[in-house]
Amino acid sequence: MTGEDKQPSASAKKAASPNPLDQAWRSIRKWWWEHVAIDVDQDRVIERIEEESDTTGRYIFMTCMSAGIAILGMILSSPAVVIGAMLLSPLMGPILGAGFALATGDTKWLRECGSALFVGTIVAILFCAIIVFFSPLQTVTSEIASRTRPNLFDLLVALFSGLAGSYAMVRGREGTIVGVAIATALMPPLGAIGFGLATMNWAVFGGALLLYVTNLVTIALTAAIMARLYGFRTTLSQRQSTLQNFGIVLAFILLAVPLVYSLRQIAWEANASRIIESDIEERFDDRARISQIQISFDSNPIQVTASVLTPKYESEADNRSSKALTQRMRYPIEVTIDQFRVGTEDGEADAAQIAAAKAREQAIATERQITQLGERMALVAGVAPQDVLIDRSNRRAIVEAKLLPGASLATYYELEDRVARLEPDWALLVEPPALPLPVVVMQDGKPTEAAESALKLLVWAARRVDAPIGINGSDSDVEAMLTYLKKEGVEAIRKPELPARRGQISAGWLAPDELLEAR
């Protein structure tokens, strides 16, 4: 054999040389097992987690107490109270238990944790919904609103919290769970879900539900990953482990997609707010300043309301700003600017700012009055508040009443008079159903004193229903009544089909074609 034959080939040399990446990975794994994971008492860790993941009386009680504190803190918009609810929440235990059960392949434990989570979730939502249902305060506060728009950052918070919580349980540092509970805030989203359910606000309900599911799933899957890293014994085969890994990755992707979209929307709104504020500032000189700006991104077009303190009034500033922003943002934007003229002195600007604040408070009070007026009108008419037509500029409200059992025209007349006395500055009109018209007693061609109320009711009903009427009686009484109704702006004709009694005027509703035929 020659010397050349004894030399290994190039391919053999390549196969014999170790892969640097593979060698580095093996070194890292060896260091991890020998210096990090080797001293973990797996049985003790599993025992501790199992103690916190059962459905017990204490678990149900603490869930209710935590939920109650959370929803009250959110209604009152008190962050300190909400934090107190986070500290009491027992939900972290079964969530971590579900993650470790998933990693170890313990299906019985996984079912127990799933059952505890389901029971705790339902109990918390229902308890919060009951509190909100009986609460006189049902306004969406900032604490509630902040739990209705989850984004990718919320997923990252849950991910880091899951890593910290799992590490604390594995290393025997359960005190860290307190900080984890605050970070992930599992209970406030459940409170917001209960609020949305009680008030039938499905935007709040859906947004808070997505945040809760994000936190729950992310922490559970992160706990499973940590259990794998620390080498907790598993009954899963290699194929099952691979499928589980694929499922974990897929779950994170499915969660991330809507959260990325939400984050993009929030970023767009933040950028839009900056652009809108900058554009409004450019409409005025350097001495002007924006006192307040409100942007409603949910409306179409986007509604922008700003209060500007300026030494010089700028005409058409809001129209120019609307056109410029619509063109720049490529989305319809409607800008309304309230300008408060002030001097250049700080004292004058502060006084104007106070005046602007008072004006806003007055506007809020007026809006509250209009809302109450609509609710009152809807109540007497037996309809929903949105069925009341309110004309703010003319201070006029109209509602078409439903047929109420046992009600007559006099009933609706009295109801309208009652609500009108409460709001003397408004014209409140209740349109009654076309019920039978009253009989008017006549004497010497005029209504009797006792019949004045019947005549008023007849005219009122004809105006409210806005339909012509037919009358019948003696010739002289009919002639006098037609003349009177004409002066009152009520269309009427003689209708022989109606009963004709001496000294009485009978009245009834006409179809439009009957009036046309009479003419």
The answer to whether 28-235 and 369-431 have equal CATH topology is: no
Of 87-91, 148-152, 400-404, the least confident: 87-91
Give pLDDT, residue 61.
93
Higher pLDDT residue, 333 or 41? 333
Summarised one tens digit per residue, pLDDT across range 231-272 is: 887 777 778 878 887 888 888 888 888 888 888 888 888 888
Residues 192/209, Cβ–Cβ less than 8 Å:
no
Contacts of 22 (CB under 8 A, 6+ apart): none
Instruction: Give the mean pLDDT of 435-443.
Output: 87
Distance CA 395, CA 18 (A): 87
Q: What is the DSSP string of 461-499?
A: HHHHHT--EEEES-HHHHHHHHHHHHHTT--EEE-TTS-
**Does the pLDDT value for residue 3 go beyond 50?**
no
Distance CA 507, CA 492 (A): 9
Q: List the domain boundaries for the chain.
A: 28-235, 278-358, 369-431, 440-518
Distance CA 404, CA 496 (A): 31
The most confident of 34-38, 169-173, 189-193, by mean pLDDT: 189-193
Tokens of 184: 């992930």
Tell me phi and psi for residue 299, to 5 degrees: -85, 165
Tokens of 406: 């046992």
User: CATH for 369-431?
Assistant: 3.30.300
Cα-based distances in Å from 149 to 129, 182, 197, 201: 20, 18, 17, 14
Please, is 512 exposed, middle or buried when counting C-beta atoms within 10 Å of its C-beta (0-12, 13-18, 19+)? exposed
Give pLDDT, residue 183.
44
Residue 179's pLDDT band, with cuts at 50, 70 and 90, is very low
Of 18-27, 50-59, 389-398, 433-442, the least confident: 18-27
Any idea which residue has 């992160």 for tokens?
222
Give pLDDT, residue 169.
82
Question: In angstroms, what is the C-alpha Rg of the chain?
Answer: 37
Distance CA 336, CA 295 (A): 10
Q: What crossing angle do the helices spanning 317-329 and 238-282 adopt, rounded to 10°?
A: 150
Higher pLDDT residue, 88 or 366? 88
Say if domain 28-235 classifies as CATH 3.30.70: no
Distance CA 167, CA 72 (A): 32
Q: What is the DSSP string of 278-327?
A: HHHHHTS-TT-EEEEEEEETTSSSEEEEEEEEESS--TTHHHHHHHHHHH
**Does the pLDDT value for residue 182 go beyond 50?**
no
Q: What percent of the chain has pLDDT over 90?
A: 11
- What is the H or E stretch that residue 339 is in? strand 333-341
- What is the H or E stretch that residue 508 is in? strand 504-509
**Does the pLDDT value for residue 120 go beyond 90?**
yes
Give pLDDT, residue 248.
83
Summarised one tens digit per residue, pLDDT across range 183-227 is: 456 888 999 999 999 999 888 999 999 999 988 898 889 888 888
Summarised one tens digit per residue, pLDDT across range 310-367 is: 887 787 888 888 888 888 888 888 888 887 776 545 555 555 555 555 555 555 556 6
**Does the pLDDT value for residue 32 go beyond 80?**
no
**Does the pLDDT value for residue 419 go beyond 80?**
yes
Cα-based distances in Å from 341 to 281, 291, 311, 321, 338: 15, 12, 5, 19, 10
Give pLDDT, residue 196.
92
**Does the pLDDT value for residue 17 go beyond 70?**
no
Of 117-121, 269-273, 280-284, 497-501, the least confident: 497-501
Residues 473/481, Cβ–Cβ less than 8 Å:
yes
List for the chain the helix, strand, coil content (%; round to 5): 65, 10, 25
From the DSSP assignment, how many helices (H) and strands (E) are in the chain? Answer: 20, 11
Summarised one tens digit per residue, pLDDT across range 454-476 is: 888 888 988 888 788 888 888 88
**Does the pLDDT value for residue 303 go beyond 70?**
yes
Give pLDDT, residue 176.
45
DSSP 400: E
Give pLDDT, residue 80.
82
Of 372, 465, 377, 368, which is closest to residue 419 (Cα–Cα)? Answer: 377
The most confident of 15-29, 39-53, 320-334, 502-516, by mean pLDDT: 320-334
SS (H, E, C) 428-471: EEEECCCCCCCCEEEECCEECHHHHHHHHHHHHHHHHHCCCEEE
Cα-based distances in Å from 92 to 181, 224, 230: 7, 14, 20
The most confident of 23-32, 286-295, 482-491, by mean pLDDT: 482-491
Higher pLDDT residue, 352 or 170? 170
Mean pLDDT over the full length of the chain: 81
The side-by-side arrangement of strands in the sheet containing 440-443 is 446-447, 440-443, 504-509, 469-472, 492-494
Greatest Cα pair distance, the chain, in angstroms, is 149
b/e per residue, 461-492, with b = 16+ CB within 10 A?
bbebbebbbbbbbbeebbebbbebbeeeebeb
Give pLDDT, residue 312.
79
Give pLDDT, residue 378.
84
Question: Domain spanning 278-358: which CATH class is it, in words?
Answer: alpha beta
